[in-house]
Structure 1
Amino acid sequence: MNERNGSARPDGGKRTDPGRRESAEERADRQWQELMQEIRVAQTGVQILFGFLLTVAFTPHFQALSDTDRAIYIATVVVGSLAAGALIGPVSFHRIVSGRRIKPEAVVWASRLTFTGIVLLLATFTSALLLVLRVATHGMLVPCLVGGVVAWYLLCWFALPLWARERHTDER
């Protein structure tokens, strides 16, 4: 019986995380919902950026881009497409394995796809920023500006979460 609401547990009452008092199935369900919320945020960013990138090639200014800028543009579109694929992947994964009773495994694979998508999104944002700043400024500060923004992304997206995980995770 569940101590919170008195309901029977499908796993016979086995708990995987004593701090949360949830079964393996409940934990997988919760983690899946959390992951889907995270993906919604990242998907929106990559889809909007990717949509704008696709329109650039059809503008008159695109024809005047240097070969280097065109190469950056192509790399940005490709990496953006890969990011979109990785971030949409968990939805497809869930649809294909739904009802197979492998949600804990689906959560692991969806998490891996999401992390890959975030790394690819970092590359997409970086190359898009590089391209825009090169075209807009033609300045020598472009590498410094892009490097600073990338450092900010790395701090916000990876360094701070890793620091918090290390500092605040109990030794169990």
Structure 2
Amino acid sequence: MRLSARPLLLRSLLSLPLSLSLLAAAAQADSLSVEDAHVRAVPPGSPTTAAFMTLTNPGETDLALVGGASPLAGHLELHNHVMVDGVMQMRRVEAIPLPAGETVRLAPGGWHLMMFELAATPAEGERVELTLTLDSGESLTLEAPVQRVQPMEMKGGEKGAHSGH
């Protein structure tokens, strides 16, 4: 099921007694659709975690994810895994490209959101608020469930997982 709403409307919906699973399943800003958002469950005391999701840009204009925030994290960074001299390394990036009409998957082993300086250990089944910021100035706030995530899937190689490529 998809939830279509402008960012302010979505924020107001978060305060209503709606099923949080509906909100976590999918969210849509004017120019971006977010599906299957989730945050990695980590052991107690871990200072970091990661968030993953599928982002679709249904518009005719290229976009980029340029930032994010969460009450759970002191700060959030955009990251990707790249092959350097035969060794897979995680690197911070300034933006995650969201080409017009395409879907970009944020997943282990590719693009993802790293969350640092955690205020608490996210436990499986809890929900985490995430705010995504686009280069257009638009932002989208959603809630994502905390789930156990399998190690790096390595789908999509160095450039991340893009459907249609």
Q: Which has the higher helix share?
A: 1
Compute the TM-score of the two structures, normalised by the length of structure 1. 0.22
Higher relative contact order (CA 8 A, sep 6+): 2
Q: Which has the higher strand share?
A: 2
Compute the TM-score of the two structures, normalised by the length of structure 2. 0.22
Higher Cα radius of gyration: 1
